[in-house]
Amino acid sequence: MDPAVGERPTAGARLSRRGLFGIAGLGGAAAGLAAGFLGHDAVAASAAPPAADSPVVPFHGDHQAGITTPAQDRLHMAAFDVTTTKRDELIQLLKDWTRAAEALTEGRPAGATGAVDGPYGAPPEDTGEALDLNAGKLTLTFGFGAGLFEKDGVPRFGLDGRRPEALIDLPHFPGDDLDPARSGGDLVVQACADDPQVAVHAIRNLARIGFGKVRVRWSQLGFGRTSSTTRAQQTPRNLFGFKDGTNNLKVEDDQLLDQHVWATAGRPEDAWLAGGSYLVARRIRMHIETWDRTSLGEQEGLIGRTKGTGAPLSGGEEFTEPDFTRQGKGGKPLIPLDSHMRMAHPSQNSGVRMLRRGYNYTDGSDGVGHLDAGLFFIAFVTDPRSHYVPMQMAMAKGDTLAVEYLKHTGSGLFAVPGGVKPGGFIGDGLFA
Amino acid sequence: MPGFTLPKNARVPGTKIASLAAAVVAVPLILTGCTDNTKAPDTAGGAIDVVSSNSECKVSATSVPSGNLTFSVKNEGTEVTEFYLLAADGLRILGEVENIGPGLSRNLVVTAPAGTYTTACKPGMEGDGIRAALEVTPSGNQRPADADFQHLLDTATTQYASYVKDQGEQLLTGTEQFAAAFAAGDAATARGLYAATRQHWERIEPVAESFGDLDPQLDAREADLEPGQEWTGWHRAEKDLFPPAGYTALTAAERSAIADRMVADTKDLVERTRTLEISADMLGNGAKELLDEVATGKVTGEEEIWSHTDLWDFQANVDGARIAFENLKPALQQKDAALAASLDEKFAALQAELATHAQGAAFTSYDKLTPEQVQRLASLVDALGEPLSRLTAAVVL
């Protein structure tokens, strides 16, 4: 066992030592307590949803948290290259990450002795910057890239034949300007939290645990969730100032989630994907400065909605169903044929939907004084071949917003295993 | 109206969308032309509320002081509506806002001197609309109407149409020479003609882009392609003439095919520009879009990734924008002299910086620029682009 992680301590000990998550933390603490008393199986799969104001999102379940979890405000995502060639070391890493994730998502520090309770002569096991903070609704969601299964056509880690067919190499989309240093990766970890320090703390400690076995390939900070994943949330705005995610799939859409988000394990060897999904990550740079010089009328025409209320240009309120047939002056459609909203709408994409979970990002400015900013697009889909590639291909060609004001600079596709059962570890089905 | 105002739509093959944007911006050009130079909203009571239903057109005021009038039009009906401000004769349109979907609100800003006007909502966009009189009282802060304003705009568009035709013809001549050299395998001659000929294209890029089928055939970059798409045009030739490491050269037959296609497509382009109808807002938006092209493609060196002749394109885009601005300048000086002066100054500053990288007609290779030099250029582009984005509204609204 990697000493940086340690055995999962009993919930009681943890609670008394940290003692900081207070009333709001009881949901998570109670779940941990139950696990301690009743054994792991008793709370498998169905960890009760936390109280609305609880800062703890349960880590265990049929699905990984961080997919249908109401979108938190902040993101830190990191992709890793696996540097070890040993299957045992990879499995141990996934176990260590699981134990750490269990702790971190409950607001506890990584490692048995955390940030301040270890030997005076040794570096602390937890980096400490999340002391005094609660769990912040932290979720950690793990995914496997194609590179975990094979590199240069050669299978790795004894995973011969286990690469899911849907874990494709994404094609080149028109206009792509992908930076290899911001693309790909064998493993990905999405950390979402309401506090950026909590999200950064989580990725930092996972990276630290992984040193020697994995190397961070790229990471991305995000702020201002750009979509809603529950009807209780107000639709947020992207950096173009428009509401984003009005028509997104929501956690309330059970049947649609089954149809469009959760992966189906087609082959017996893909059974580990049951309850999982595919995560598409795209770093989409926005040409903010030229957008800001565009007239309001043109902005709205490019989006297909009003900037104020987010109503479709065919009329109504934000959640009014758009009427793509409604015509304006000269018989032209009120919602332009090349508008972003029309191009992305399920009616234009064989009924395909996706659960988007993107974030605004700003990585400072580029060398010429323009904001290096945009949308870090994240979507969960049942199969990227049907649910991402055709739509993105169409939009890269025909969505004028995308053609003129966006540039994709990073890309990743990952198979997200189903949820972790207490006592299990991330993706354990794949290594069974 | 062709897509000149909206080259944003132009890269969508097979679609020609006179978008809402055009509808909103392209208010009729028969304007009063008289206004104070400050452009400050001077409607005493703020916006004039207009509520359009299927059967009514409620205007919140019957009398307002002259100057910039803002009508805030809300469609409370079930049909698409539009709103007009008409002259006393009920025919001459001073301003309009179209395509207001049910439940939506949209603003119309017009400059109106004292006089009697007619307002009209047009639910369903048919008929004469639901009309009412609006009295505009003298507020004493405007110059008298300038009857020549429309003439200034007409002159501007006529001059620009001539410019587009001239550039198109020079583009064709240059393309024929380039294509002949390229097809013949005379790479040195073709390389020498490449950037100079493309300048004619880049000067009228929004016009060229408005023809959605021709633009990708002539100007697609390799990164713009979708899998399986045939790659033709300037940048296909560029890669062959300025080959990256490991590149396999085109065969003579392939070069000939590309050369022939470029000439044919350019002829087609020139033919189409002859019948292009140009309006004042097309000039204003075209100028802004040329600067946008500079900001996103040329200043970053992405347009000419093998030849590194981005500064030639840069200069040509600036030329095109400056010609459009200068054609509009007499009209702009009447409406907003301060903006005209600011644009003059910003164009001059950018041109002076560009000139430091020129030797005669030639320009420094983009890959030889230092980061500081690129920064200076980018900063001047932004300094110009921001006021330039206000040109259309200043002249047309």
pLDDT tier at A28, thresholds 50, 70, 90: very low
B108 contacts on A by Cβ (under 8 Å): none
pLDDT under 70: residue ranges of chain B: 1-45, 141-147
Query: A30-54 pLDDT, tens per residue?
Result: 333 333 333 333 333 334 455 567 9
Rounded distance between C-alpha atoms, residue B114 and residue B95, angstroms: 15
Q: Inform me whether the C-beta atom of residue A330 falls under 8 Å from chain B C-beta atoms.
A: yes
Q: Are B120 and B130 in contact (CB under 8 A)?
A: yes
Chain A partners of B366 at a C-beta cutoff of 8 Å? none
Residues in chain A within 8 Å Cβ distance of B382: 289, 369-370
Q: DSSP of A201-247, one letter per residue?
A: HHHHHHHHHHBTTEEEEEEEEEEEE-S-SSTTSPP-B-TTSSB--TT
Q: What would the pLDDT profile of A72-104 be if each residue is shown by its tens digit?
A: 999 999 999 999 999 999 999 999 999 999 999
CA-CA distance, B382 to A89, in Å (whole number)? 52
**pLDDT single digits (tens) A266-297:** 788 899 999 999 999 999 999 999 999 999 99
pLDDT tens digit sequence for B354-395: 999 999 989 999 999 999 999 999 999 999 999 999 999 898
Three-state SS at A80: strand
Taking alpha carbons only, the member of A426, A430, A422, A432 closest to residue A39 is A422
- Under a CB-based contact definition with an 8 Å cutoff, are residues B43 and B68 in contact? yes
pLDDT above 50: residue A225: yes
Q: Give, to the nearest 10 degrees, the angle between helix B337-355 and helix B310-335.
A: 160
For residue B14, list chain A residues with Cβ-Cβ distance below 8 A: none
**Residue B21 with chain A: CB contacts under 8 Å:** 295, 297-302
Average the pLDDT over A23-33 and give the result. Answer: 37
| B384/B352 Cα distance (integer angstroms) | 13
The answer to whether the Cβ–Cβ distance between B82 and A369 falls below 8 Å is: no
Tell me which residues of chain A, numbers 1 to 30, contact chain B at a CB-CB cutoff of 8 Å: none
Q: What's residue B143's pLDDT?
A: 54
Nearest CA in chain A to B216: A397
Nearest to A297 among B25, B223, B379 (CB): B25
CB contact under 8 A, B20 and A311: no
Instruction: Look at B104 and A313 and tell me if their CB atoms are within 8 Å.
Output: yes
Catalogue the long-range contacts made by B319-323 (C-beta closer than 8 Å, 24 or more residues apart): B319/B199, B319/B203, B320/B202, B320/B203, B320/B204, B320/B205, B320/B206, B320/B286, B320/B287, B320/B290, B321/B286, B321/B287, B321/B288, B321/B290, B321/B291, B321/B347, B321/B388, B322/B287, B322/B347, B322/B351, B323/B160, B323/B163, B323/B203
Chain A positions touching B371 (Cβ under 8 A) are 367
**Cβ separation B375–A329 shorter than 8 A:** no
**CB–CB contact A174 B296 (8 Å):** no
CA–CA separation, A216 and A77 (whole Å): 10
Q: Which residues of chain B have a CB within 8 Å of the CB of A400?
A: 8-9, 11-12
**What pLDDT, on a 0 to 100 scale, did the predictor assign at position B59?**
97
Mean residue pLDDT across chain A: 88
A77 three-state secondary structure: strand
CA distance A47 to A53: 16
Partner residue facing A315 (CB), from B17, B102, B386:
B102
State the Cα–Cα distance between residues A381 and A260, nearest whole angstrom.
6
| Closest residue in B to A289 (Cα–Cα) | B382
**Nearest by Cα to A2 from A176, A209, A216, A204:** A209
B55/chain A closest Cα distance in angstroms = 18
| Chain A nearest CA to B289, separation (Å) | 9
Element (H, E) at A379: strand A371-381
Q: Do B98 and A329 touch (CB under 8 A)?
A: yes
A368 touches chain B (CB under 8 A): yes
Categorise residue A152: left if φ over 0, alpha if ψ from -120 to 50, beta otherwise: left
pTM to 2 decimal places: 0.84
Provide the shortest C-alpha distance from residue B181 to chain A (in Å): 30
| Partner B contacted by A51 (CB < 8 A) | no
Helix (H, G, I), strand (E, B) or coil at A301: helix
> pLDDT value at position A267?
86
- Interface contact flag, B379 A316, Cβ < 8 Å: no
State how far the alpha carbon of A187 is from the alpha carbons of A82, A111, A146, A183, A219, in Å: 7, 22, 9, 12, 12
Surface of A (135-194) touching B: CB under 8 A:
171-177
Give the minimum alpha-carbon distance from A331 to chain B in angstroms, rounded to a whole number.
Answer: 10
User: How many other CB atoms are found less than 10 A from the CB of residue B314?
Assistant: 27
Query: B41 to chain A, minimum CA–CA distance in Å?
Result: 18
pLDDT band at residue A253 under the 50/70/90 scheme? confident
Please report the pLDDT score of residue A51 as a whole number.
Answer: 57
- Taking an 8 Å cut-off on Cβ atoms, the answer to whether A338 and B15 are in contact is yes
Nearest-CA residue of chain B relative to A306?
Answer: B104
Cα distance between residue A323 and residue A342, in whole Å? 10
Identify the helix (H) or strand (E) that includes residue A200: helix A196-210
Span A422-431, pLDDT tens digits:
999 999 999 9
Asked if A308 and B9 come within 8 Å (Cβ–Cβ), the reply is no
Residues of B in contact with A368 (CB under 8 A): 299-300, 374-375, 377-379
Report how far residue A424's alpha carbon sits from residue A165's, in angstroms, rounded to the nearest whole number.
Answer: 25
Provide the β-strand partners of residue B119. Answer: B85, B132
Largest CA distance in chain A: 79
A320 close contact with B: CB closer than 8 A: yes
Contact call for A329 and B299, based on CB within 8 A: no
**Cβ–Cβ gap B11/A403 under 8 Å:** yes
The answer to whether A301 contacts B20, with C-beta atoms less than 8 Å apart, is yes
Q: Which residues of B touch A403 (CB under 8 A)?
A: 8, 11-12
For residues B30 and B91, the answer to whether their CB atoms sit within 8 Å is no
Closest chain A residue by Cα to residue B286? A294
Shortest CA gap B290–chain A (Å): 11
Q: d(Cα B150, Cα B34) in Å, to the nearest integer?
A: 11
Which residues of chain B lie closer than 8 angstroms to A306, CB-CB? 104
**Contact flag B11-A295 (C-beta cutoff 8 Å):** no
Question: CB distance B101–A294 less than 8 Å?
Answer: no
Angle between helices A11-18 and A26-38 (to 10 degrees): 150
The pLDDT of residue A53 is 79
Residue B210's pLDDT is: 78
In 3-state terms, what secondary structure has residue A257?
Answer: helix
**pLDDT surpassing 50 at residue A246:** yes
Q: In this predicted model, what pLDDT tens digit does every residue of B273-326 receive, in sequence order?
A: 888 888 888 899 899 999 999 998 899 999 999 999 999 999 999 999 999 999
Q: What are the residues whose beta carbons fall under 8 Å from the beta carbon of B368, sequence distance 6 or more?
A: B308
Put simply, whether A308 touches B (Cβ < 8 Å) is yes
Q: How far is CA B178 from CA B133, B255, B316, in A?
A: 62, 12, 18
How many angstroms away from the CA of B155 is the closest CA of chain A?
25
Where does the pLDDT of residue A175 fall: very low under 50, low under 70, confident under 90, or very high at 90 and above?
very high
Q: Do A404 and B98 touch (CB under 8 A)?
A: no
Which residue of A176, A297, A393 is in closest CB contact with B223? A176
Q: Say if the Cβ atoms of B12 and A368 lie within 8 Å.
A: no
Tens-digit pLDDT profile for residues A330-373: 899 999 999 999 999 999 999 999 999 999 999 999 988 899 99
Cα B71 to Cα A325: distance, rounded to the nearest angstrom: 28
Closest-CA distance, A341 to chain B, in angstroms, reads 14
Q: How far is CA A187 from the centre of its chain?
A: 13
DSSP element (H, E) containing A407: strand A406-416
Q: Searching chain B, which residue's CA lies closest to the CA of residue A368?
A: B375
Report how far residue B79's alpha carbon sits from residue B101's, in angstroms, rounded to the nearest whole number: 7
